[in-house]
Structure 1
């Protein structure tokens, strides 16, 4: 990645981000089968819900949506799936959206959905309660495509927040981490910053500095999650803006 690009990443970027999920997609044909499958299974676990939400908003019932989402994941593991992946299509979300659109059309044209053996499944959607999560979404007239964009953005936000929570827990313990996350998200049960500072046995000034750093770290983690889904020719800040606009 060029250091002169406006999408330059922080110098302390973890090494695992040198291979982004987009590069995993683009290079899947050349990797060893075991490594490719492991990486792609992780990709599916990370981004399954925008796919499911898209299919449901296309009007399919829960059981059919689960079947189509699962069969799409199986399709992802087939190496010719990536024949259409090119650097010019450097946004993973756009590539997957177009792919699931095509998969849904093929599925609907089929006389009956192909049955998959249990061992072919990557993840159990039943355990993840996809329909319960879908029913919690606000009712709105969004198209399925717009819903996909929104759920993609929410997925990246959730992943960034989970990473921040893990970092704070490792450093400060679960109770302090939980309170700081609540303060960050505005869910500290009506407690002021001063009250949280007192609870955590620190000064107001120190708490303000800590929250400033936490907000900065969260923004960095979110940007890293976005960078992990685009190729090097895509401006990370532009992609981040597009995702936030989808909300």
Structure 2
């Protein structure tokens, strides 16, 4: 996952259409079409289940308990008032969702203490915010890679995608163009052109995926750089 284009790449601005998150925000401020907002929110929750699960695990819950809590959280989210909390001036879905998870866990913790006198949760000394953001960034990258793979399959280029996909997110890895040209049955120059085109398309799809989770085009690059840094910290 890379924020800056390679030398010579042309960066085209993302056409900022109405996304699922902007639908949620707009419906939060209006009484009309709440079912549209709920459908959009449901889709976002389905897409970002794993970052929430990772964050809950980081609070010391077992995998089984974390799965139950994640399910409880999304049930609460879809039945509750998240839409009323949406603030267009701070319109990054990642931040709102993470803050809501933290509040949910805090409420669960307080309830546990009240039900079991002297009880407490054992917290694992991890950086919960960092864990959430890394998992979120990975989810965005995986979604972009999946979309690119589907595009290549429709165009009859799945074999090329499969061979080159591991080289899309970074240009610092060693690439044996000789081996790739042999396995694909094409020249090294053809492999290099194919990889360049895939990288350009992958970056564009990444921007589109990030655009789904912010409310302003001005936030796209900052959010993308932040998520790239989160992933880079794990490598």
Distance 1:57 1:25 in 2: 28
Distance 1:183 1:172 in 2: 20
- Superposed displacement of residue 220, structure 1: 1.0
1:22 partnered with 2:55: no
Distance 1:86 1:12 in 2: 23
Partner of residue 144, structure 2: 160
- Superposed displacement of residue 66, structure 1: 1.5
Distance 1:103 1:79 in 2: 11
Q: Contact between 2:169 and 2:199, CA under 8 Å: does it hold in 1?
A: no
- Could you give the per-residue CA deviations for residues 16-62 of structure 1, whole angstroms, max 9, x where no partner exists? x7222321331344453543333222111110111111111111222
Equivalences for residues 163-178 of structure 1 within 5 A: 163-178=147-162
- Could you give the per-residue CA deviations for residues 228-247 of structure 1, whole angstroms, max 9, x where no partner exists? 11111642111111111222
1:206 partnered with 2:217: no
Q: 5+ residue gaps in structure 1?
A: 1-8, 113-139
User: In 2 relative to 1, CA 205–233 (structure 1 residues): closer, same or farther, beyond 3 Å?
Assistant: closer
The farther-off stretch of 98-107 and 168-177 is 168-177
Q: 5+ residue gaps in structure 2?
A: 1-10, 114-123
- Could you give the per-residue CA deviations for residues 113-156 of structure 1, whole angstroms, max 9, x where no partner exists? xxxxxxxxxxxxxxxxxxxxxxxxxxx96411110111111111
1:197 partnered with 2:197: no
- Could you give the per-residue CA deviations for residues 147-171 of structure 1, whole angstroms, max 9, x where no partner exists? 0111111111111111111111211
Distance 2:94 2:57 in 1: 18
Tell me the TM-score normalized by structure 2: 0.77
Q: Contact between 2:27 and 2:37, CA under 8 Å: does it hold in 1?
A: yes
Q: Contact between 2:14 and 2:208, CA under 8 Å: does it hold in 1?
A: no
Partner of residue 93, structure 1: 94
Q: Contact between 1:179 and 1:196, CA under 8 Å: does it hold in 2?
A: yes
Tell me the TM-score normalized by structure 1: 0.73
1:72 partnered with 2:73: yes
- Superposed displacement of residue 12, structure 1: 7.3
- Superposed displacement of residue 191, structure 1: 7.3
- Could you give the per-residue CA deviations for residues 42-99 of structure 1, whole angstroms, max 9, x where no partner exists? 1111101111111111112223212221111112213522211111111110010111
SS in 2 for 1:172: coil
Q: Contact between 1:28 and 1:79, CA under 8 Å: does it hold in 2?
A: no
Partner of residue 51, structure 1: 52
Partner of residue 7, structure 2: none
1:219 partnered with 2:219: no
Give RMSD over aligned pairs.
2.6
